[in-house]
Structure 1
Amino acid sequence: MKFYNVHTAIEWLNQQTNDISRVGIDKIRVAVNYVGNPEKDLPAIHITGTNGKGSTTAFLRDLLLSQGLTVGSFTSPHIMRFNERIMMNGEPISDQDLIEVIEQMVEVNTYMETTPYGKLVFFELYTVMMLLYFRKMQPDVCLIEVGIGGENDCTNVIDAQLAVLTTIGLDHADKLGDTKEEVAHEKAGIIKPFARVVTGLIEPGPLAVIEQRVEAMHAHIDRFNVEYGITDIFNHFEQGSTFNLWQKNIPADETQQNNFVVSMLGLHQIQNASVALQAFINWMDIIERPIDWVVAKPALQQTKWIARMERIYNEPLVYIDGAHNVAGLTALRQLVQEHLPHYQLTILYAGLSTKNQLAQLPLLLSFEPHELLLTEFNHPHAMTVDNFQELIDQVPKIDTQYVHVERNWQQFIDEYLLSHQTNTNQLLVITGSLYFVSEIRQYFAQNVK
């Protein structure tokens, strides 16, 4: 099958369905074997975690690029265009290359229908496409972010020399488990024999699970606040933060590890940056290349990641952030309180019914906003305003003067921007599902001047 434009190619991807549930990664192994095992010999860093994967990947990508390496990256979901999922050197895959790999998927799915597993769907397809593209491009290093979990994720067909586990929290309980230890067990499944491992700030219980996997795989681990950490954090408010990185057995007077700057806001982004730095140091050691800190430090400072506390409007001030679970909302609340404390806060929020929205509503209230609006958006699993109204009715003593549902978020945004354009103390934070934030960002790009 030939596709004459990228839209019809992506439409074909989205139409691929399969009633046979996938368990484990044997199905993906069959698919990659059919196309000649493009995952073999890929120099790869595998990245998982409940929160922080995308930002950590962005920091790490820019650090590696600063050293003259070619870098492939695979992330999800996309915000503006599907092409963002697969990148080379920070640039999305071209429409032409994307069409080419999707056309290969047509042949793959024709073959897969002859197997007991049936067709590849959605993320399975994306994973095989990414592997084929990286085999063609031959980057010096591939940054591969898991979809969900780790051990049973499609991406776990790769044999990564370095595994990064950013955080462990409760999310996707139906797939990963009801405890943080169960989640850690699933995510630790990306750790391969004799690999190196970098972990972010993880509680003792789930960290012990990861350490057991490390020992079983004869791997080497660098743990946040054990083998490395951060000190001397200074908040520059809307300009970001500075911090120092310490490493076990590295003399404190070695200034090359000092005075890092991150422009992305929040303590959690400093922690993400430190995880990326430790992974960067490990990778450069693996490939036996010295680090040029003169160019690495500015690269870290310049790192941006769309839809993660991204300012999209100035007067009035509007930020978007894909805080889609309890950990994300907790980090966002701390960020707003520390970096933007002097503004009158309005929150516009939408989420998925697959998340525990009853737990997240009190978190949103704890921001103490001037106004909290709960809305709906175009997604098959999106919470409706009626769903949100039911939640509001379940929480006692909610002041519905400032908490209410909003059916038409487009109209609300237009009216908010118009009525507050001369108010310098106003702050609108739009948050929730990344799918919702994606719609918001596209709306601003196309309709807001």
Structure 2
Amino acid sequence: MFLVNYEEALSYLSDRSSSGIRLGLGRIKELLRRLGNPHLDLKAIHIGGTNGKGSTAVMLAGILQKAGYRTGAFTSPHLHSFTERYRIDGACISRERIAELTGEMRPHLEAMAADGFERPTGFEAGTALAFLYFSREKVDYLVLEVGLGGRCDATNVVRPLLSVITNVSVDHQEYLGNSIREIAGEKAGIIKRGVPTVTAAAGEALEVIEDTCRKRNSPLTVVGRDVRWEHVSLSEEGQCFTICGLKRKYEDIGISLLGRHQQVNAATAVAAVEVLMDLGVDISAGAVRAGLAARWPGRLEVMRRKPLVIIDGAHNYEGARSLRRALADHFPGREMVLVIGMLDDKERFKVVAELAPAARAVVVTRPDSPRAAKWQQLAVAARRHVREVYLEELIEEAVEKALSLAGPEDLVCFTGSFYLIAGVRKLLAQ
């Protein structure tokens, strides 16, 4: 074993990420084989989809934890610390454990290179670390979020108890395809033969998922058809709704997560829970209600009240649509200052066209990523919809500018890349 500290471990994993995204399962399968295949010990619920994966994962993990099970959760990306990706019963892995497990994996990674294998990416090494950690910690269940796509994602080596696909919309076209059918086919790659599937997808995407489930003999539960939800009320503090499940009706559920899209995510988590119950997992109605109250930073999170400051990682068009509706639902009548910064490879102009018309002023800034080299182009797009547009490259100056533009009853919304949201959240939390 190599002895490394936390900073050295992150540097080592980051260095492996410098080669970029390379989808495929060959590298991680070989690495896991050398590590003793720890993923085969785990009872996993595998969650994919375009939007809502993280929220659904957090809710489902919360329910399992409240039901008394030792529950692991592997999600990405993180906001402030790499340790956030690995949690057991809500507690992050320690920095020392990251260092220890990276040191344990490093000889195997070096041996793979010496034996002529293509080196695993940073995400693949981080996923292998997750399997090692949760296997060693003997979690009862692992809620496992797909990184990108599904079929060729590093997480897709598990044999899960259940596969979940939240929804399908256009994102990561350079890796997943240019049409909903193509993207849905990649997402449906996590569906396993004989393993149940839950989805909240609709339209063409649902057709692809239904066809895949038929071919793989996977029992399918569709949210919106088999499991439904009924809106009750909402406020600036949260929302209330009822979920009509396969087995129970959960009335007047209250959650602090904002936006009606979170009702769909909650219904998806409940559908997953009820399928797990059919598999013999004991989960009470009280555990469901308590677990759905989980919090998820950076998703329509209220940071201040006067002016009202909200951060949300709406990094694609569907996310922007959900954000705009949520702002109108929860905070009607407030004038908005929009602060936006996005990566070059996202649907930037469609996101601006969705959000800018609702703003009185727009501040365009640069997320802390080399993939945001053309950040100023968003200002050109914003000026098609609003006259008052400002450019502030540094996130600190963008925050200061936005707050100076807002009155005490106004709304300041920071959105776009999670690199931006992480920076803003850190500043506002000081």
Output the TM-score relative to the length of structure 2. 0.95
> For the residues of structure 2 that align with 1:187 and 1:335, how far apart are their CA atoms?
26
> For the residues of structure 2 that align with 1:382 and 1:319, how far apart are their CA atoms?
22
Q: Secondary structure at the match of 1:320?
A: strand
Q: Which residue of 1 aligns with 2:372?
A: 382
The change in CA–CA distance for 1:178 and 1:157 in structure 2 (over 3 A counts) is same
Q: Which residue of 1 aligns with 2:297?
A: 306
Check whether the contact 2:27–2:119 (CA below 8 A) recurs between aligned residues: no
> For the residues of structure 2 that align with 1:405 and 1:18, how far apart are their CA atoms?
29
Q: Secondary structure at the match of 2:333?
A: coil
Q: How many residues align?
A: 430
Check whether the contact 2:144–2:155 (CA below 8 A) recurs between aligned residues: yes
Q: Which residue of 1 aligns with 2:388?
A: 402
Shift of 1:415: 5.0
Which of 274, 287, 295 aligns to 2:280? It is 287
Residue type at the aligned position of 1:381: R
> For the residues of structure 1 that align with 2:19 and 2:405, how far apart are their CA atoms?
50
> For the residues of structure 2 that align with 1:78 and 1:3, how far apart are their CA atoms?
25
Shift of 1:424: 3.5
Matches within 5 A, 1:56-75: 56-75=56-75
Deviation digits for residues 243-280 of structure 1 (CA, Å, limit 9, x no counterpart): 111235x5xxx6x5222122111110011011011111
Structure 1 range deviating more: 369-378 or 280-289: 280-289
The change in CA–CA distance for 1:170 and 1:390 in structure 2 (over 3 A counts) is same
- Give the fraction of aligned pairs with identical amino acids, expressed as a percent: 30
Which of 263, 268, 271 aligns to 1:278? It is 271
- Does 2:129 match 1:134? no
> For the residues of structure 1 that align with 2:332 and 2:122, how far apart are their CA atoms?
41
The change in CA–CA distance for 1:108 and 1:45 in structure 2 (over 3 A counts) is same
Q: Which residue of 1 aligns with 2:54?
A: 54
- Does 2:330 match 1:339? yes
The change in CA–CA distance for 1:392 and 1:62 in structure 2 (over 3 A counts) is closer
Shift of 1:284: 2.8
Structure 1 range deviating more: 210-219 or 66-75: 210-219
> For the residues of structure 2 that align with 1:405 and 1:217, how far apart are their CA atoms?
51
Matches within 5 A, 1:417-432: 417=403, 423-432=407-416
- RMSD of aligned residue pairs (Cα, Å): 2.0
Q: Which residue of 2 aligns with 1:7?
A: 7
Q: Which residue of 2 aligns with 1:436?
A: 420
Which runs of 5 or more residues in structure 1 are unaligned? Answer: none
Check whether the contact 1:20–1:117 (CA below 8 A) recurs between aligned residues: no
> For the residues of structure 1 that align with 2:235 and 2:144, how far apart are their CA atoms?
32
Which of 335, 342, 350 aligns to 1:351? It is 342
The change in CA–CA distance for 1:411 and 1:20 in structure 2 (over 3 A counts) is closer
> For the residues of structure 2 that align with 1:21 and 1:89, how far apart are their CA atoms?
30
Deviation digits for residues 281-303 of structure 1 (CA, Å, limit 9, x no counterpart): 212331342x32234313323x1
Check whether the contact 2:339–2:402 (CA below 8 A) recurs between aligned residues: no
The change in CA–CA distance for 1:159 and 1:385 in structure 2 (over 3 A counts) is closer
Check whether the contact 1:385–1:405 (CA below 8 A) recurs between aligned residues: no
The change in CA–CA distance for 1:215 and 1:17 in structure 2 (over 3 A counts) is same
Q: Which residue of 1 aligns with 2:237?
A: 239
Shift of 1:314: 2.3
> For the residues of structure 1 that align with 2:17 and 2:166, how far apart are their CA atoms?
32
Matches within 5 A, 1:142-291: 142-200=142-200, 202-231=201-230, 233-247=231-245, 256-289=249-282, 291=283
Check whether the contact 1:164–1:197 (CA below 8 A) recurs between aligned residues: yes
Shift of 1:156: 0.4
Shift of 1:63: 0.7
Shift of 1:362: 0.9
Residue type at the aligned position of 1:408: L
Check whether the contact 1:20–1:118 (CA below 8 A) recurs between aligned residues: no
Which of 306, 313, 318 aligns to 1:327? It is 318
Deviation digits for residues 162-215 of structure 1 (CA, Å, limit 9, x no counterpart): 001001000000110111111111111111111111101x22211111111111
Structure 1 range deviating more: 14-23 or 272-281: 14-23
The change in CA–CA distance for 1:66 and 1:102 in structure 2 (over 3 A counts) is same
Residue type at the aligned position of 1:234: V
Deviation digits for residues 330-377 of structure 1 (CA, Å, limit 9, x no counterpart): 0000000111112221110000001121222211223x2111111113
Output the TM-score relative to the length of structure 1. 0.91
Check whether the contact 1:191–1:214 (CA below 8 A) recurs between aligned residues: yes
> For the residues of structure 2 that align with 1:417 and 1:372, how far apart are their CA atoms?
12
> For the residues of structure 1 that align with 2:24 and 2:16, how far apart are their CA atoms?
19
Residue type at the aligned position of 1:338: D
Deviation digits for residues 378-433 of structure 1 (CA, Å, limit 9, x no counterpart): 2010154433345457x5xx44x32332233312423544675xx44111110001
Shift of 1:313: 1.7
Q: Secondary structure at the match of 1:377?
A: coil
Check whether the contact 2:341–2:364 (CA below 8 A) recurs between aligned residues: yes
> For the residues of structure 1 that align with 2:394 and 2:29, how far apart are their CA atoms?
45
Q: Secondary structure at the match of 1:363?
A: helix
> For the residues of structure 2 that align with 1:390 and 1:72, how far apart are their CA atoms?
44
Q: Secondary structure at the match of 1:63?
A: helix
